[in-house]
Structure formats: C-alpha cells, structure tokens
C-alpha cells in the first residue's frame, strides 16, 4: 500500500464516517504528509503498513526540535489516529505509536478581553469608512458585534447566511465543526447592526456562490478568514490596546463574560457548539470566583 492510497482512504473515512470539516481533514492530512516528506528526505523506504516504531521515533525527534510541546502532542495524536484507522481496516495489526508518549503539557487558558476592552475596539471602528462607494465601516461593526455577542468561530462567521438569520425568533443558525448545526441566541442590538449592514449590502452585486452570505467584500465575494484577522488587527492598532487579539479572543470573552454573570456551563457549551462539556470547563479556570458564587448562592450551609 502506497502512502498516497492510504492518505486518500483516510481522508474519505474522515469525511464520510467521522463527518469532519474540510479544515479538520486538511489538518489531519498535514501530519501524515510531514511524515512522508521526512521519509523521502532521509531515503527511508517504508510503507504505511511496514513503518515501525524506531522510524516514527526518529521522525518525532527530528520534528520536536522545531515545534513546541503542544504541537508535538497534537502531531503524535494525529498520527496515532491514522494508524488506528489502518488497524481498523485490517492493513496493520499494531500501532507504531503505542509506545510513544505525548509530552506533558499544561492546559492553556484562553486570552480574554474585558468589556471595557471590547467597547474600546468597537469605538475605534470608523463608521464612515467607505471603499469603492461601499460603506464597510458598518459591516466591520456588525462583524465584531456578532463575534462577541454570539461567540462564533471565525469560519462560522464567514459562512453565516442570510437564510440562517431568524431575528423574529431571536436566533441564528450556525454551522460549526463537522457541519454540525446549532441555534445561537442573538440580541436585538446585534440584530440592528446586522440589519444596517444588510441594507448597505443590497448595493453590492454578490458573486453567484455568495448570494446568501451575510458578510461580503466590496467585490461581492465571501470574506476570508485572513480578512477578519486583518480587520481586527487594524482595530487593535487604532484603539491602542497592547494585547494579542484574534477572532477567537471574542469567542473566549463571550464565554467568560457569560460565566462571570452567572450563566449555566451547560448553556454555554450549547451556544459554543462544544461536543464535550470538558472543553467548556476550561472557562471555570479563567473565572474561579464563579465557583465561590455558586457555593454562596446554592449550598445550604454557606
């Protein structure tokens, strides 16, 4: 079995059986391609069925000099999943990573913004910013408000459709990882900003594949992830905030601020679209005071 065949079958499995998104499949594939590149560079003739523990160890040692422990752990996990798949399909009887331990890593706490920080960023938006006669200032404000008020991932924001907006019911339909859909509440203030942008959007002729997309560029195409990062980077510079801020920072802030104000962890999990509540529990570490507040409010011997 050649590596190209094994990778193609694995990608098909991830898409059909696991229901993973295109981005996730690309990330899983990247680990395997990195291993194949290492084999080629070192003239090691080992197929996916034949490759052994020693070769994998050499590869991981080589890569570990260039990446941090968290990336090493992700790489080992990705390769282990690939070889588990080969065992499942009957191509192998053992996993060459069984005796390889992942490096110990601490749980990385997410960066968050205060409400004051977010107000500062929003105030930095120039609502008169116009390009090619299209006002993009109101679009940018709607983008930031939606990221923060709904806790969306950047890909969920760029994929958001007009047909996903259920403002009368107070919800938007979000398509998350693995094409799983969920309904997320949206406040009237954010609705107002989106409606303002949509009235401006009507002046743009959208591309055929972007007719239902909420946030467009001035050419009528769907915004890229990179463009969202650029918008935020520019706002950070204008506002004078000395923090590293990405689209995901707004998602973390959304969850943290809900928890600080007494929201139920299970409700936050559903809004974020986390498959496991253990992923959501990281926000308990961000705001430990919430635990004390729960004890004070609900325990009979407080």
Task: Provide the CATH number for the domain around residue 138.
Answer: 1.10.443.10
What does the alpha-carbon distance between residue 25 and residue 8 come to, in Å, rounded to a whole number? 11
Asked if the structure places residue 176 within a domain, the reply is: yes
| pLDDT over threshold 70, residue 90 | yes
Asked if the structure places residue 136 within a domain, the reply is: yes
Percent residues over pLDDT 90 in the chain: 54
Same domain, 247 and 212: yes
Between CA 199 and CA 205, with CA 202 as vertex, the angle to 5 degrees is 160
Mark whether 177 is an active-site residue.
yes
| Residue 146 vs residues 16, 41, 208, 214, 218: alpha-carbon distances, Å | 31, 46, 24, 11, 19
At 39-55, the pLDDT tens digits run 999 999 999 999 999 99
Same domain, 179 and 272: yes
Asked if the structure places residue 154 within a domain, the reply is: yes
Mark whether 28 is an active-site residue.
no
Same domain, 256 and 145: yes
Same domain, 74 and 220: no
The one catalytic residue among 15, 161, 225, 248: 248
The confidence score (pLDDT) of residue 296 equals: 61
Same domain, 156 and 59: no
The one catalytic residue among 34, 74, 177, 225: 177
Same domain, 80 and 123: no
Domain count, the chain: 2
Q: What mean pLDDT is reported for the chain?
A: 87
Same domain, 17 and 147: no
Asked if the structure places residue 99 within a domain, the reply is: no
Same domain, 69 and 172: no
Task: Kindly report the pTM of this predicted structure.
Answer: 0.63
**Two structure tokens written together for 139:** 């679009």
Asked if the structure places residue 47 within a domain, the reply is: yes
Asked if the structure places residue 23 within a domain, the reply is: yes
The one catalytic residue among 138, 251, 252, 257: 251
**Two structure tokens written together for 258:** 């809900």
Domain of residue 84: give its range: 3-88
Same domain, 288 and 167: yes
Same domain, 155 and 286: yes
Same domain, 119 and 252: yes
Mean pLDDT of 108-128: 86
The one catalytic residue among 80, 141, 153, 290: 153
Asked if the structure places residue 221 within a domain, the reply is: yes
The confidence score (pLDDT) of residue 32 equals: 93
Asked if the structure places residue 202 within a domain, the reply is: yes
**In this predicted structure, which of 84-88, 133-137, 188-192, 277-281 has the lowest mean pLDDT?**
277-281
Quick count: other Cβ atoms within 10 Å of Cβ 18? 13
At 232-277, the pLDDT tens digits run 999 999 999 888 888 989 988 998 888 888 777 788 888 888 877 7
CATH number, residue 20:
1.10.150
Mark whether 274 is an active-site residue.
yes
Same domain, 20 and 160: no
Cβ-proximal residues to 168 (8 Å cutoff; 6+ apart), any chain: none
**Which residue do the tokens 């990778």 mark?**
7
At 166-219, the pLDDT tens digits run 999 999 999 988 788 999 999 999 999 999 999 999 999 999 999 999 999 999
Last residue of a domain, one of 70, 88, 106: 88
Mark whether 80 is an active-site residue.
no
Round the CA-based radius of gyration of the chain to a whole number and report it: 23
């Amino acid at each position: 079995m050649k590596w190209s065949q094994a990778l193609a079958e694995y990608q098909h499995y991830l898409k059909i059986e696991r229901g993973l998104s295109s981005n996730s499949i690309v990330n899983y594939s990247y680990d395997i391609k990195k291993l194949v590149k290492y084999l080629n560079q070192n003239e090691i003739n080992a197929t996916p069925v034949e490759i052994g523990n020693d070769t994998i160890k050499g590869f991981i040692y080589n890569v570990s000099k260039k990446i941090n422990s968290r990336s090493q752990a992700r790489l080992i996990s990705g390769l282990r999943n690939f070889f588990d798949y080969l065992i499942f399909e009957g191509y192998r009887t053992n996993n060459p990573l069984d005796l390889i331990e992942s490096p110990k890593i601490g749980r990385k706490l997410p960066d968050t913004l205060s409400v004051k920080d977010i107000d500062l960023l929003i105030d930095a938006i120039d609502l008169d910013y116009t390009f090619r006669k299209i006002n993009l200032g109101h679009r940018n404000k709607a983008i930031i408000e939606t990221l923060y008020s709904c806790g969306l991932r950047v890909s969920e924001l760029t994929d958001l459709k007009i047909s996903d907006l259920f403002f009368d019911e107070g919800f938007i339909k979000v398509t998350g990882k693995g094409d799983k859909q969920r309904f997320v509440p949206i406040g009237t203030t954010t609705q107002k900003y989106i409606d303002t942008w949509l009235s401006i959007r009507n002046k743009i002729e959208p591309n055929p594949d972007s007719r239902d997309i909420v946030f467009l560029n001035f050419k009528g195409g769907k915004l890229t992830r990179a463009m969202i990062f650029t918008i935020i980077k520019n706002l950070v510079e204008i506002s004078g905030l000395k923090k590293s801020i990405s689209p995901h920072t707004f998602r973390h802030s959304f969850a943290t601020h809900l928890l600080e104000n007494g929201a139920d962890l299970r409700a936050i999990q559903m809004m974020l679209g986390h498959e496991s509540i253990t992923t959501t529990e990281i926000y308990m570490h961000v705001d430990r005071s919430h635990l004390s507040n729960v004890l004070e409010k609900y325990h009979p011997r407080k």
